[in-house]
């Protein structure tokens, strides 16, 4: 690990030792990696004897991840969306804030303001490109890695309490780390490095029940979700002459299929199974904006496309962004034309390189 030095680990250890109240914060619309790394950090801090630790979320996490949070004492997770005051108070009164799986405060959305005004020491553990390190007393940022959960695994196992032995991780942390790595790699389909398999091997040897994780992640969905997937791939998918696949999922369709947070996870990758498709976008209508997910094949930068055309960013082959309504488009019916125009500009510029 390039970015895990003894010096930084010692600083992290000192910050944890000296902290009385700690907030763990992750990005908006938290996914498996965001929740996995947060729950794992929580378990570790509790095992260090820290009593006042909260996980503070900008908004709700998908219910299919509740198996990793089920064992937490009630009141551990504070969600700004449903309790702004308590969430802000937790961060404002913390002396240590640990930021996981995001590279800049604006990615914490509703929590951005309180993060900026907090005088607590802050720690970053993240795997996205272009991190804003300035606000952080210590930052661990690695992009050649599967997930924030994997990076956290390497940080935690390097701490003296764990001493390189994954069996010493609290059981709930080990399960949460395996979960975050599994969702961010799409169950080992992408971003899988030698270090990722080493982590998986050590966690399995430490007794993590991977079958139970896979069951919880992939075999507990609703019938609606599968039928929606069929509808999206059959009726809503467009493929442009530039080899860009895109789907616009408007609110009406989301209501029709009772779409819940996390239900469309993974769908954006599916069109990449077509040989001629080089990049895939999923646009989901939300309040005042359309959320954009971008995935690309080797040689095409989803990150650059999201940065240049969709007010976002992320990783080289998996990124996200948004189109503002009004602003970028007047309403969702214009999303398709926007995608066609902007991906054409992007793909033809890529070709010229």
Min dist CB 218 to ligand 5GP, Å, is 16
Min dist CB 200 to ligand 5GP, Å, is 19
43 binds, among ligand 5GP, Mn ion, none (CB under 5 to 8 A by kind): none
Q: Which residue is nearest to ligand 5GP (CB)?
A: 320
Q: Own/partner pairs for 338-344, CB < 8 Å, 24+ apart? A: 339/244, 339/246, 339/248, 339/281, 339/283, 340/240, 342/309, 342/310, 343/240, 343/242, 343/244, 343/246, 343/279, 343/281, 343/305, 343/309, 344/240, 344/242, 344/244
Q: Is there binding between residue 126 and Mn ion (CB under 5 A)?
A: no
According to CB under 6 A, which one of 244, 321, 325, 328 is a site residue for ligand 5GP?
321
Instruction: Find, among 128, 183, 180, 124, the residue nearest to 155 by Cα.
Output: 124
Q: Is there binding between residue 146 and ligand 5GP (CB under 6 A)?
A: no
Question: If you write DSSP's letter for every residue of 269-310 in order, what string do you get?
Answer: GGGGGSTT--EEEEEEEETTEEEEEEEE-TTS-HHHHHHHHS
Residues 155-184 that bind Mn ion (CB under 5 A): 184
Min dist CB 160 to ligand 5GP, Å, is 30
According to CB under 6 A, which one of 320, 323, 339, 350 is a site residue for ligand 5GP?
320
Give every CB contact of residue 266 below 8 A, 6+ residues apart in sequence: 186
Q: Is there binding between residue 319 and ligand 5GP (CB under 6 A)?
A: yes
Q: Is there binding between residue 185 and ligand 5GP (CB under 6 A)?
A: no
Q: Is there binding between residue 101 and Mn ion (CB under 5 A)?
A: yes
Q: Is there binding between residue 58 and ligand 5GP (CB under 6 A)?
A: no
Q: Is there binding between residue 265 and Mn ion (CB under 5 A)?
A: no
Give the nearer residue to ligand 5GP in terms of CB position, either 36 or 314: 314
Residue 115: both structure tokens together: 């993060």
Stretch 28-67: interaction string toward Mn ion, x if CB under 5 A: -----x----------------------------------
Residues 85-114 that bind ligand 5GP (CB under 6 A): 103, 107
Residues 275-304 that bind ligand 5GP (CB under 6 A): 293
Count of positions on this chain that bind ligand 5GP (CB under 6 A): 13
Instruction: Find, among 176, 178, 174, the residue nearest to 166 by Cα.
Output: 174
Helices (H), the chain: 6-18, 32-47, 66-69, 84-92, 112-117, 148-158, 171-184, 194-205, 210-218, 223-231, 251-256, 302-309, 335-352
Min dist CB 73 to ligand 5GP, Å, is 28
Q: Which residues sit at the interface with ligand 5GP, rule CB under 6 A?
A: 27, 103, 107, 128, 293, 312-315, 318-321
Q: Which residues sit at the interface with Mn ion, rule CB under 5 A?
A: 33, 101, 147-148, 184
């Amino acid at each position: 690990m390039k970015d895990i030095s003894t010096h930084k680990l010692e600083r992290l250890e000192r910050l944890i030792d000296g902290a009385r109240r700690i907030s763990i914060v992750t990005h908006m619309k938290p996914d498996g990696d965001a929740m996995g790394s947060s729950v794992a950090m929580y378990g570790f801090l509790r095992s260090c004897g820290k009593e006042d630790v909260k996980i503070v979320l900008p908004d709700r996490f998908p219910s299919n991840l509740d198996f990793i949070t089920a064992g937490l004492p009630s009141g551990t997770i504070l969600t700004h969306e449903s309790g702004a005051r308590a969430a802000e108070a937790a961060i404002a009164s913390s002396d240590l804030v640990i930021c996981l799986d995001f590279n800049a405060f604006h990615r914490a959305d509703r929590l951005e303001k309180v993060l900026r005004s907090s005088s607590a020491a802050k720690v970053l553990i993240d795997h996205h490109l272009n991190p804003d390190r300035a606000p952080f007393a210590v930052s661990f940022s690695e992009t050649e890695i599967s997930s924030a959960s994997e990076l956290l695994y390497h940080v935690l196992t390097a701490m003296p309490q764990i001493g390189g032995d994954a069996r010493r991780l609290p059981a709930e942390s080990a399960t949460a780390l395996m979960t975050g790595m599994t969702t961010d790699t799409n169950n080992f389909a992408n971003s899988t490095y030698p270090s990722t398999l080493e982590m998986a091997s050590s966690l399995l040897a430490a007794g993590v029940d991977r079958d139970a994780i896979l069951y919880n992640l992939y075999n507990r969905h609703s019938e609606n979700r599968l039928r929606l997937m069929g509808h999206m791939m059959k009726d809503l998918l467009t493929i442009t002459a530039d080899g860009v696949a895109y789907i616009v999922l408007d609110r009406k369709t989301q209501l029709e299929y009772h779409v819940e947070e996390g239900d469309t996870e993974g769908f954006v990758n599916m069109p990449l199974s077509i040989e001629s498709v080089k990049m895939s976008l999923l646009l989901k209508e939300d309040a005042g904006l359309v959320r954009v997910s971008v995935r690309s094949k080797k040689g095409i930068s989803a990150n650059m496309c999201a940065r240049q055309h969709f007010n976002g960013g992320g990783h080289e082959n998996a990124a996200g962004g948004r189109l503002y309504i009004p602003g970028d488009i007047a309403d969702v019916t214009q999303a398709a034309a926007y995608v066609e125009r902007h991906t054409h500009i992007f793909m033809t510029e890529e070709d010229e390189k």
